[in-house]
Amino acid sequence: MSFEFKKKLPIPKEIKELYPVSPSLADKKRERDQEIRDVFTGKSDKFLVIIGPCSADNEESVCEYIERLVKVQEKIQDKVIVVPRIYTNKPRTTGEGYKGMLHQPDPEKAPDLLQGIIAIRKMHMHALETYGMPIADEMLYPENFWYLSDILSYVAIGARSVEDQQHRLVTSGFDVPAGMKNPTSGDFSVMLNSVVAAQISQNFIYRGWDVNTSGNPYAHTILRGSTNKYGRSRPNYHYEDLMKLYDMYGERNLKNPATIVDANHANSDKQFKEQIRIVNEVLHSRSLSNDIRSLVKGVMIESYLVEGSQKIGCHPHIYGQSITDPCLGWEDSEKLLYEIAEKC
């Protein structure tokens, strides 16, 4: 056998008992969850902005970033719900490179999954308890969702994961909104099929159990652009793309039709400054069409304290700068949040 079984990891219940969520924190999360659900059901016309670093690599800088977000959120709360991205699981196309804090609590040291599980739970709890904002993360491994199931208010399923059956079925058991990204091919039908699978009840094997789920009515799409057969990025945030998605939703019997536009990745061709223009174009499209306005519930932005990116282990290390994809810096991000509140 080519597997090396290194150590048996604690099950989620054991980790939750070691690092429990207090009753007051659970109440705070329920309030945040309901605010976000109301956006997807149409009860609220607030606009979602899921914003934060490409990867949450350092608790101190991540929490400083969220502290700044809180101050902006207080000023725009009548129009916008800000959801910090605290992404601790990073998909890698080839499986090489930094896969997030879950794998490497210290990016410059060897992987340690046990300490990673503990580190991400403690960071998420710290952020929720201290700043009271809803939290988003990506589900890279379906088996790991339960380590954070009592903390997260929003979950994204990545472009490389969205065609995987286990990701789709596990998402059907969430009670929080889950965004299903279009696959790297850009196929809207594949993306919508993942929403169908996530919205209906399912039966499958999960963590050694025979489980049933009731379906997740808050599962929705995320448009992140695509890559063609020549490896070139193709955007899918334009007016025509949004109308096409609206029409395709209408052909299916899905609950709460909705999409989030990811302004980075293939939509920006990873030209991080383009996120500003892309977000403004999406807001303009919403102003031109009530159908698009009802469909597009928010945007996703990659942003950190310092713009750009750096290599892991570089010296000097720049505090608050991404070690994965380049991000907007704080000054541009703050200005963009206020622009969104004016135009959404």
Average pLDDT, stretch 311-327? 91
Torsion of CA 207, 209, 212, 214, to 10 degrees: -40
Please report, for the domain that includes residue 337, its CATH number: 3.20.20.70
What is d(CA 129, CA 238) in angstroms, rounded to the nearest whole number?
38
Q: Is the pLDDT of residue 1 over 80?
A: no
pLDDT category of residue 35 using cuts at 50, 70 and 90 = very high
Q: Decide if 227 is inside a domain.
A: yes
Q: Is the pLDDT of residue 94 over 90?
A: no
Q: Decide if 3 is inside a domain.
A: no
Which tens digit of pLDDT belongs to each residue from 174-193?
999 999 999 999 999 999 99
Report the pLDDT value the prediction gives residue 314, as an integer from 0 to 100: 85
Give the number of other CB atoms < 10 A from CB of residue 226: 21
Q: Starting at the edge strand that comes first in sequence, how are the strands of the sheet with 136-138 ordered?
A: 80-84, 47-52, 296-302, 259-262, 219-223, 178-181, 154-157, 136-138
Q: Decide if 6 is inside a domain.
A: no
Average pLDDT, stretch 100-110? 92
Strands 321-322 and 136-138: unpaired
Say which residues have a Cβ less than 8 Å from residue 239's Cβ, sequence separation at least 6. Answer: 285, 288, 289, 292
Q: Is the pLDDT of residue 105 over 80?
A: yes
Report the pLDDT value the prediction gives residue 27, as an integer from 0 to 100: 94
* pTM of model > 0.85: yes
Q: Decide if 139 is inside a domain.
A: yes
State the total domains in the chain: 1
Domain enclosing residue 145, as ranges: 12-343
